[in-house]
Amino acid sequence: MKFKGLKRDQRGQTATEYMLIIAVVVLGAVAGASILIPEFRDGVTQLSAKIKNILTNTSTPTAPINP
């Protein structure tokens, strides 16, 4: 029977293991992104509002930013 040889045949095993590792990493990245995207979007919205405020209030002097 052919099935006896399949148990010892390890061709493709390394590639399969690498694909499983890549799949776990991708799933982790997707899960992390789904958590961080709303916070990133809120940060960009706040930053754009501050930039718009600075650009529209050009007559008001602002204090220098200390690093």
**pLDDT tens, per residue, the chain with 67 residues:** 566 665 666 677 788 899 999 999 999 998 888 888 888 888 889 999 998 888 887 665 566 777 6
Spell 4-41 as b/e; 16+ CB within 10 A means b: eeeeeeeeeeeeeeeeeeeeeeeeeeeeeeeeeeeeee
Q: The tokens 């709303």 sit on which residue?
A: 38
Rounded Cα distance, 11 and 9, in Å:
6
pLDDT at residue 35, rounded to an integer: 85
- The verdict on pTM exceeding 0.85 is no
Q: Which residues contact 54 (CB under 8 A, 6 or more apart)?
A: 62
**What does the pLDDT read at residue 56?**
83
pLDDT at residue 27, as a whole number: 92
